[in-house]
Structure 1
Amino acid sequence: MTDEITDEITYVPATELAARIRQRELSAREVVQAHLERIERVGSQVNAVVTVDPEGAMDAARAADDRLARGTEVGPLHGLPIAFKDTHLTRGMRTTHGSPLFADHVPDEDELLVERVQAAGAIRIGKTNVPEFAAGSHTFNPVFGATRNPYDPTRTAGGSSGGAAAALAAGLQPIADGSDMGGSLRNPASFCNVVGLRPTPGRVPALPKRNPWDTMAVAGPMGRTVADAALLLSVMAGPDPRCPLTLETPGEAFRVPLESDLRGLRVAWAPDLGGRVPVDPEVTAVLEPQVQVFEELGCRVTEDCPDLDGAEEAFRTLRAQEFALGLGELLDAHPGALKPSLVWNIEEGRRLTGADLARATAAHARVHLAGVEFFSRYDVLLAPVSQVVPFDIELEYPTSIAGQVLHTYLDWMRSAYFVTVLGAPALSVPAGFTPGGLPVGLQVVGAPRAELTVLRAGAAYEAATGHGVRRPALPHDSRPRPALPHDSRPHGNHPHGSHHAHPRA
């Protein structure tokens, strides 16, 4: 294929691409080949897709075309290529978690999410880059290096689904799976001008999972449009009796038109979450005018915010508990093999007492109830996704925002992780660019289980603004993979057996 044909195919929305494959206007082979060629040509500039299986992908594409030719019923993702997040287990393809301890680890099973996406017809082409054990919202690790922002390669793509977001923005895949504890879907979507949805806990069941009662970490869809994310959600979502928090609504409920009249929608706008978080003036300058778009769409907009008192204690405590539970044994077995911020978070969890956990659980309950009350008065909440613009790739994390000093790798993520504690679906949708050309996302939050309300509001805003259409200008060349600026530790030996701990940013 010529470069022009390849690029034309790789930026077609996933919904349209799937329809064109089903209608035989394009073959799965053409679509997969186009994406593999683009990965080969520009992929090293962003370092987003870190494991690639061209032969396996083309074999699967040929089989997909054969099924369609025979008249076999095919799934809603038939023929669409996808590179799975490198924390999600993929049978026969290495899953490194961004750690030298798992650099050569090849699982013998697929995660439930991977099973569902492939059963719907998606074709696995590789894996996307993550921070070490998905900890932190900046994607770098000692196995593959750092993922660069397609809009400015000197900046971060965010994380922990940074490889997924950058791959979408760079045209390396049409849909992407991600996960989110404190912003792992939302921050990279904001930084890379794509869409990411953190669903209600239980909407997307997770197996295997060490703590099936955890509500902090969830899996969710990403895409270049809201409709593309909804299409992937329709496959990822749906009940599973093995998951105790699973919601009963079938995934097909999200495979519906999103066009909606927003007149009368009750919208709350919280530019700094009620004064609880500092926000970079560049972010505020982009987002403030977006509120008027909702007013022009007929919404009733009021500046207001749910009561988030206790969200900090709840998130920090429950996150630390999960890190100690999921990675504590690994730290003991391999002292010195984990990055310092990860060790700090594990040790924070180990210092917790029963009383600490009881207080955090009570605070979590209070915030959840405050959110339920808030969403009895409003349909959606608008807020910044990220408190900062994409920062320098040489930094591990921002150390100040608007003059306020930050002390840990989590501090700059409060605008995302306070929303996590609400237990509500939260969408990051492209909201514009700074004068320097850096993307900024708008967070659209709804009541628990109200994904369709959030998706419809996001789709209407997307249609009215078109911010997501702007593409990065990537030169068509191939350069050596960028070195990791933060961590040059040598690779270690990976432990035996599968690893099922999935802390996320």
Structure 2
Amino acid sequence: MWQWSAVDTAKAIRSGKASAEEVVDAHIRRMREANPAINAVVVDLSEPAAKAAKAADKALAKGKPIGPLHGVPVTVKINVDVEGQANSNGVSAFKETIAPADSPVVANLKKAGAIIIGMTNTPEFSMRAFTDNPLHGLTRNPWDPAITCGGSSGGAGASMAAGIGCIAHGNDIGGSLRWPAFCNGIATIKPTQGRIPAFNPSAPAERPLMAQFMSSQGPLARSVADVALGLEVMAARDPRDPWWVPAPLDGPKPAGPLRVAVAKIPSDMDVDRDVLGLVRSAADHLAEAGYDVAEVEVPDLAGTWQLWADLIMTELHVLQEKQMREVAGADFKQTLDSFLSVANLLDGEGYMRAIAQRSRILRNWLLFLEDYPVVLTPLSVKPTPAVNADLGGAQRVKDLFWNDVRFMSSINVLGLPAAVVPVGLLEGKPIGVQLIASRYREDICLAAAAAIEHRAGTVVQKLWKRKAAG
């Protein structure tokens, strides 16, 4: 049962093929079997989950209304509020920060009938691309313990690849949904800013403005259909988020074949030819599915990435850095120093000019997306790096973010939706691609991702067969 998709699991429970209690028990047993080797789930909620499963079966037997995820096991990242649980965000000093109420995304999952079986690991302050912290330790990649599971939703990504839960919650301010999806061979969507409501009742202060505009909550799953189901559930309205937008999940159907811009690789990027070969395979899959595919240069990728770095690091430096350094571990401080070294810290005038420049850059991208409603890019131009590779110094961090994943973090400053889907394996490890669309057109991203998945297949089953054989 733990290998079933979220869509099939929900159908099985609704039809009586399986009970919620049976399904949740299967996932709890899988968690106990697989989690010790990877340390993806760091808060075990199996006891309340088992009780919730029994209640779910009773509600179904009584004919009560049920939601689209009734009885379906899920995981939640440890940086959002789950009532009665600590929102530690990977920081030892926050291990007693007990949430007084559910965050909107958790409330929406529960209203849909989902059952939370555990909370997944993240780096300190969810500010590294590698999931390790002094409170809960290192999370391993199920494919290979020597490579990273990504971050900051690394625990979420690893749990999905290992078969723990049907859908994982994560969030993304610089790639924290898409990078773990790439590293672990699963699918995800970073929604448009405002699509999924966000708020932590335990937070003592609001986040800086541009951090709010860059951050998105979202689902990770083993198939695109499950990602779409997770998005639908998570996107329900919550009045606590003033940026939430009541946009339809499905936009107007485009006339004729959609044009796809396969992003040209900037000449200054050092690339792995085999990775780019898989990106070309994804382009071929789209062409076979009827998309009109052409290689095109995207608008000012370098300037867009630098704007992301400058804005997020300026806000962090002014409003958060001092408090972070007071409680953070040595690894976080080293990585933070490296991040700051690649950004231009702005004064008040520079910060306002940068925000104004964001509007110009976003406008150019939106006009580009009118001509090419789908943009296919590498998520990374290199294979997944080693565990804690960001501790190799400032130059290594610059190489990773400026060179390897430049196409990833740039999208956050624009607030555009972007999906990641696996396209194949390279030396036995997964490689994914990124699909970008215009504002509130997650449906276009997911349709293109599904077309690739239909031809490339999902990859986690290969991992499970390998583990079973080994």
TM-score relative to the length of structure 2: 0.90
Alignment partner of 1:216 out of 197, 206, 214 = 214
1:212–1:243 contact (8 Å) kept in structure 2: no
Alignment partner of 1:56 out of 48, 54, 61 = 48
User: Using the alignment, how far apart are the partners of 1:176 and 1:94 within structure 2?
Assistant: 18
Structure 2 runs not aligned, ≥5 long: 201-205
Following superposition, the deviation at residue 329 of structure 1 comes to: 5.2
1:340 counterpart letter in structure 2? K
2:225 is matched with 227
Alignment partner of 1:245 out of 243, 248, 261 = 243
Sort the Cα spacing of 1:261 and 1:174 in 2 relative to 1 into closer, same or farther, 3 A. Answer: farther
Following superposition, the deviation at residue 96 of structure 1 comes to: 1.7
User: Using the alignment, how far apart are the partners of 1:439 and 1:387 within structure 2?
Assistant: 13
Sort the Cα spacing of 1:291 and 1:247 in 2 relative to 1 into closer, same or farther, 3 A. Answer: same
2:455 is matched with 464
2:264–2:297 contact (8 Å) kept in structure 1: no
1:90 is matched with 82
Following superposition, the deviation at residue 240 of structure 1 comes to: 3.9
Sort the Cα spacing of 1:224 and 1:36 in 2 relative to 1 into closer, same or farther, 3 A. Answer: same
Answering whether residue 431 of structure 2 is matched by residue 430 of structure 1, we say: no
2:128–2:332 contact (8 Å) kept in structure 1: no
User: Using the alignment, how far apart are the partners of 1:276 and 1:234 within structure 2?
Assistant: 39
1:441 is matched with 432
Higher share of residues assigned helix = 2
Alignment of 1:237-386 (within 5 A): 237-249=235-247, 253=249, 264-272=257-265, 274-275=266-267, 277-308=269-300, 310-324=303-317, 327-328=320-321, 330-331=323-324, 333-334=326-327, 339-341=332-334, 343-344=336-337, 351-386=345-380
Q: Cα RMSD (Å) of the superposition?
A: 2.7
1:232 counterpart letter in structure 2? G
Q: How many residues align?
A: 458
2:234 is matched with 236
2:45–2:119 contact (8 Å) kept in structure 1: no
Sort the Cα spacing of 1:212 and 1:33 in 2 relative to 1 into closer, same or farther, 3 A. Answer: farther
User: Using the alignment, how far apart are the partners of 2:391 and 2:157 within structure 1?
Assistant: 18
Sort the Cα spacing of 1:297 and 1:30 in 2 relative to 1 into closer, same or farther, 3 A. Answer: same
Sort the Cα spacing of 1:460 and 1:476 in 2 relative to 1 into closer, same or farther, 3 A. Answer: closer
2:6 is matched with 14
Following superposition, the deviation at residue 338 of structure 1 comes to: 7.4
Alignment partner of 2:28 out of 36, 42, 63 = 36
User: Using the alignment, how far apart are the partners of 2:167 and 2:330 within structure 1?
Assistant: 33
1:463 counterpart letter in structure 2? H
Cα shift readout 1:165-196 (whole Å, capped 9, x = no counterpart)? 11011001110111111110001101111011
2:389–2:396 contact (8 Å) kept in structure 1: no
2:73–2:165 contact (8 Å) kept in structure 1: yes
Cα shift readout 1:266-323 (whole Å, capped 9, x = no counterpart)? 0110152x44643333321322222111111121111113212521332012211342
User: Using the alignment, how far apart are the partners of 1:238 and 1:203 within structure 2?
Assistant: 9
User: Using the alignment, how far apart are the partners of 1:197 and 1:449 within structure 2?
Assistant: 12
Runs of 4+ in structure 1 off by over 6 angstroms are 260-263, 335-338, 345-350
Identity, % of aligned pairs?
34
SS in 2 for 1:153: coil
2:203 is matched with none
Answering whether residue 66 of structure 2 is matched by residue 74 of structure 1, we say: yes
Sort the Cα spacing of 1:463 and 1:469 in 2 relative to 1 into closer, same or farther, 3 A. Answer: farther
User: Using the alignment, how far apart are the partners of 1:399 and 1:439 within structure 2?
Assistant: 26
Following superposition, the deviation at residue 42 of structure 1 comes to: 1.5
Alignment of 1:95-114 (within 5 A): 95-114=87-106
Sort the Cα spacing of 1:16 and 1:430 in 2 relative to 1 into closer, same or farther, 3 A. Answer: same
User: Using the alignment, how far apart are the partners of 2:327 and 2:318 within structure 1?
Assistant: 16
1:353 counterpart letter in structure 2? D
Structure 1 runs not aligned, ≥5 long: 1-8, 478-505
1:26 is matched with 18
User: Using the alignment, how far apart are the partners of 1:199 and 1:15 within structure 2?
Assistant: 20
Cα shift readout 1:223-268 (whole Å, capped 9, x = no counterpart)? 1111101111111114444433221125xx46x9xxx999722011
Alignment of 1:90-169 (within 5 A): 90-169=82-161
